[in-house]
Chains A and B, each alone.
Chain A
Amino acid sequence: DIVMTQSPLSLPVTPGEPASISCRSSQSLLHNNGDNYLDWYLQKPGQSPQLLIYLGSKRASGVPDRFRGSGSGTEFTLEIRSVEADDVGVYYCMQALQTPPYMYTFGQGTKLEIK
């Protein structure tokens, strides 16, 4: 199984300051079609998770441009340019590599809280 490792696991941030979350994969998520099969999700308190970033760097519909995904292969980063109170929750990376055996895995999650 591909293992996903996130850091930090806890992230206290002052509103208006930037934040960064790292996600490392035990195997390359770069497909031979050139896409990186790495997504980012945010689970706000009491809600179902929501998609933020897909294919490593593409923002999902309606996601503010202060969220930015980057990276390739085994190293990925989610950056929030200027954290707002509404960004509180747990952020998960997930690998969805489109090759057999089509088994996906989530990282442990990073809890972002406001200082």
Chain B
Amino acid sequence: VQMVQSGPEVRQPGSSVNVSCKASEGTFSSYTINWIRQAPGQGLEWMGRIIPILGISNYAQKLQGRVTMTADKSTMTVYMGLTRLRSEDTAVYYCARAGPYGMDIWGQGTTVTVSS
């Protein structure tokens, strides 16, 4: 079982980014997918989650209005989109599957750099 994320991204301030996370079929139908980010030298920050099979999502208060999580059932891929990027959004972004037993499988992380 793996969660495979897309490659590194570099964006200018004010632009948007989409990060993908491909899951196995069992993961897509039976788990939620969470997104967590980690700014350089900082701790973990939970961003939100999506129930892929239903397309229902919940977002952290501070990111509401800028973050959108979607799921493509045909490719078993979950996407995290972040708009109006600023330098503080520079971070490693992780996806992780969560079931009744915690977030047990994590992606390898995707580095997003916001710089002019």
For A51, give its contact among B58, B60, B103 (CB under 8 Å).
Answer: B103
CB of B106 within 8 Å of the partner chain: yes
Contact A94–B108 (Cβ < 8 Å): no
Interface residues on chain A, number (Cβ under 8 Å)? 27
Contact B107–A48 (Cβ < 8 Å): yes
B58 → chain A closest CB, angstroms: 4
A53 → chain B closest CB, angstroms: 8
By a CB distance below 8 angstroms, the chain A residues around B61 are: 1, 103
Query: Interface residue tally of chain B, by bracket?
Result: 20 to 34
Binding site for B on A (CB under 8 A): 1, 39, 41, 43, 48-51, 53-55, 58, 60-61, 90, 92, 94, 96, 101-109
Contact A108–B60 (Cβ < 8 Å): no
Binding site for A on B (CB under 8 A): 34, 36, 43-46, 49, 58-61, 94, 96, 98, 101-104, 106-109
Contact B94–A60 (Cβ < 8 Å): no
The number of A-B residue pairs with CB atoms under 8 Å apart is 62
Contact A94–B46 (Cβ < 8 Å): yes
Contact A60–B43 (Cβ < 8 Å): no
> Is chain B's interface secondary structure helix, strand, loop, or mixed overall?
strand
Given A49-B94, A102-B58, A103-B60: A58 in contact with B43 (beta carbons within 8 A): no
B52 → chain A closest CB, angstroms: 15
For A60, give its contact among B45, B46, B102, B107 (CB under 8 Å).
Answer: B102
B32 → chain A closest CB, angstroms: 9
For A90, give its contact among B43, B46, B103 (CB under 8 Å).
Answer: B43
CA distance A88 to B37 in the complex (A): 21
Query: 21 A-B residue contacts at CB 8 Å?
Result: A1-B61, A48-B106, A48-B108, A49-B44, A49-B96, A50-B106, A51-B102, A54-B104, A55-B102, A58-B101, A90-B43, A92-B44, A94-B103, A96-B102, A102-B49, A103-B58, A103-B60, A103-B61, A104-B34, A104-B49, A106-B45
